[in-house]
Amino acid sequence: VVAGGSDAPVEVGSPLIEFYAATARKDLEGRAGEGWHPEQALSRQEALALFTSAAAYASFQEDDLGTIEIGKIADFSVFDRDLMTIPEEDILIAKPVMTVIGGEIVWRAAE
C-alpha cells in the first residue's frame, strides 16, 4: 500500500496541488519537465485512494478514517466541481465550499 501526503513544510500541502501532481505529473504552470515522470501518473481513483484510504491504512486508522462509511469519522472537503471528471487543468482552480470534521460542518464558503 502506497500512502499519499504532502512534503510539508517543504511544500504547500494543498490537497488540490497534491492530487494534481499525482495525476497530471506537471508543475503548477502545467509543465512536465525533467523529473516529473509522466509514466508514473496515477488515475484519479488511485490518487484519491492514495490520500484517503491508503493514508488511513498507513497510520493504522483504517477502521476509523479513509472512507466515507457509517461508523467512521467523517473528515472531508467538498469542492465546487467534481475533481474526478473535470479537465486536468481545472483541478488547480477548484474552490473549497465546505469542510466537514467529525461529521460536523466546520467551515462553509460564503454564498
Q: Provide the 10 A C-beta neighbour count for residue 55.
A: 19
Distance between CA atoms of 68 and 35, rounded to whole angstroms? Answer: 34
Structural domain contains residue 85: yes
Does the residue 65 lie in any domain?
yes
pLDDT at residue 74 is higher than 70: yes
Assigned domain for 51 exists: yes
Q: Per the structure, how many domains does the chain have?
A: 1
CA–CA distance, 36 with 53 (Å, rounded to integer): 25
Residue type, position 27, single letter: D
pTM of the model: 0.88
Q: Say if 97 falls within a structural domain.
A: yes
Q: pLDDT exceeding 90 applies to what percent of the chain?
A: 82
Convert the pLDDT of each residue in 14-24 to its tens digit.
889 999 999 99
* Residue 1 domain flag: no
Q: Is the pLDDT of residue 96 over 90?
A: yes
Q: What confidence tens digit (pLDDT) does each residue in 79-90 have?
A: 999 999 999 999
> ω into residue 38 within 30 of 0, thus cis?
no
Residue 64 lies in a domain: yes
Tell whether 3 is covered by a domain: no
Residue 28: domain span? 15-108
As given in the structure block, the three cell numbers for residue 40 are 508514473
Residue 6 in any domain: the answer is: no
